[in-house]
A and B are shown apart, each in its own frame.
Chain A
Amino acid sequence: MKNLTIRNLSKTYFDPYAGTNVTAVHDVSLDVRQGEFVSIVGPSGCGKTTILNMIAGFIPHTGGEILLDGRPVKGPGADRGVVFQSFALFPWRTVLENVAFGPKMRGVGKAEREKIAYEYLALAKLTEAAGRYPAELSGGMQQRVGVVRALANEPDVLLMDEPFASVDAQTRMTLQEELTRIWQEKRPTVIFITHDVGEAVFLGNRVVALSKGRVLEEIAIDLPRPRSWDALNDDPRFKELSGRVLQLVRSA
């Protein structure tokens, strides 16, 4: 089992404007089991993106440890796929080539990696867009590409950094439903960062509420799957869970 273990993680950096050291993440511990979907929710500046960047290996942590499958994380690697808020697609590559990028880096041959890419594109209903360039797609389409590009590389953990924050509300709901469907089909391990309480509850098996760089509480989400907004909008259990998380985040 490829579990992700975060123990006493902290991040302190020097703020040249304030002239002092600032601690963005305090002593955060978290266990994510293989196949789990964990949402981390908190307001802007709570340290959630910093945590994700440390797990991804984009920035070093200053205390504690991050273990994936027992091995400490050092720098970025293909075992941790990332979906970015800004999509971060390669503008000079077609949709197909973007999705085939990870397999290409692993040395998979052209025919085989395009087969893989088409399979994942079909999963997100993107087959038609395979030959187009990212600039020719809407924001929602671009982020679908971003999600399947990360998935096609079959990472041990999928790290998603507010991936749906920059698309319109209707598209966001569709993308959330699609993500739950894809998650059920492929069962990737996901850490999903968001400031949107409803989104965190809708998607996750578990919600970690974060404030000022500390974990406030973890709440198990026992809503049945498949999940859809039509079914959950008026669901009392969904409302109860969302209410609890919202209260936590706001009270801190």
Chain B
Amino acid sequence: MMQHRLSSALWFCAPFAVLIVLWAVLIPYFNFNPRLFPLASSVIQAGIEGILDGTLIHHIGASLLRVAVGTSLALLVAIPLGIAMGVSPVVSAFLTPLFRFFSVLAGIAWIPIATLWFGYGFGAITFVIFNAVFFIVTYNTLLGVSTIPLHVRNAAASLGAGRWAMLTEVLLPGALPNIVTGIRTGLGFAWRGLIAAEMIATNVGLGYMLFVARDFYRTEVIVLGMIVIGVLWLLLDRLLLAPLERATIERWGMVQRA
């Protein structure tokens, strides 16, 4: 098992290693203008500097905090609402058209009005994250509740489950596979939206770091930022979301191992 994990991690890293080697060899060989494409070594240099002087950590911290706050708030509202929609055909029928409409809008389109409402910075960007996660998780929760077999709900009722127990013992765990899928997809959108929003509406964060570096032709900082954005997402997905899926729904046999 451990060995399997290790070898699959190696296989995952292999193409990146090849890419980095090509980069380190080809860019100096063809004597590329570093203002257009940086040397691998100067990106590493920029990374070390960013960590030592704290600016990189500062930007990462700001971005992660926005994602954490926006996502948490979205889940707090989305899951109860999704369940309400799942158990009540009236609520669901009434809200579904709105959700169709807003799920298309979710994301960067909210930036202009969000900056008017919340000002530049934390509020506006957190709102964009909230939007990206909220609509997808609500919809997936609704889907999850509606896929719980009627027999399972009937079984709980005939074992004496009241409304509250039905919610916590049946509807929530029953919808969990879809909720987790929703969070994974929603966070993916949120992460992309975050970078875009940070280019426009703030003065700290990874998106901002990228955007400002352009003004000074600091391509090594731009590429560093892009690498950090990608790596952070992979870590988030692999270390937080995938284990959550493994620990619960795969064990329960509710989804097939991918």
Contacts and interface: CB of A to CB of B under 8 A. Distances in A.
Contacts of B205: none
A224 B155 CA distance: 33
B254 A92 contact: yes
A90 B149 contact: no
A172 to B, nearest CB: 20
Given A58-B154, A86-B151, A105 B252 contact: no
B252 to A, nearest CB: 5
Given A90-B169, A105-B160, A134 B155 contact: no
Contact of B160 (A56, A77, A92): A77
A58 B152 CA distance: 12
Contacts of A134: 253
Chain B: interface secondary structure? Answer: helix
Given A91-B254, A133-B253, A135-B253, A105 B152 contact: no
A198 interface: no
Interface string B139-162: 000000000010110111111111
A153 interface: yes
A157 to B, nearest CB: 11
B258 to A, nearest CB: 16
B160 A102 contact: yes
A84 interface: yes
B159 A105 contact: yes
A136 B159 contact: no
B253 A91 contact: yes
Contact of B151 (A77, A80, A88, A149): A88
Contacts of A56: 154, 158
A90 B152 contact: yes
A76 interface: yes
Interface string A123-150: 0000000000111100000000000011
B193 interface: no
Nearest to A58: B154
Nearest to A102: B159
Contact of B158 (A76, A89, A133, A135): A76
**What bracket does the count of chain A residues touching chain B fall in?**
20 to 34
B248 interface: yes
A116 interface: no
Nearest to B157: A76
A71 interface: no
Contacts of A106: 160
Interface stretch (B170-178, B206-214, B216-224): B170-178
A150 B162 CA distance: 17
B165 interface: yes
Contacts of B58: none
Interface in B122-142: none
Given A92-B176, A135-B253, A78 B159 contact: yes
Most buried by B among A78, A81, A88: A88
A46 interface: no
B154 A90 contact: no
A186 B170 CA distance: 29
B173 A90 contact: yes
B251 interface: yes
Given A133-B251, A136-B253, A92 B174 contact: yes
B228 to A, nearest CB: 37
Q: Which 6 residue pairs across A and B have the least CB separation, nearest first?
A: A135-B253, A78-B160, A105-B160, A76-B157, A88-B151, A92-B173
30 contacts: A56-B158, A57-B158, A58-B154, A76-B158, A78-B158, A78-B159, A81-B158, A84-B154, A88-B152, A89-B155, A90-B152, A90-B156, A90-B169, A90-B170, A91-B252, A91-B253, A91-B254, A92-B174, A92-B248, A92-B249, A92-B254, A93-B173, A101-B156, A101-B159, A102-B159, A133-B252, A133-B253, A135-B253, A150-B158, A153-B159
Given A82-B154, A105-B162, A133-B252, 15 more contacts: A57-B158, A76-B154, A76-B157, A78-B158, A81-B158, A82-B158, A84-B151, A84-B154, A88-B154, A89-B155, A90-B170, A92-B254, A105-B161, A133-B251, A150-B159
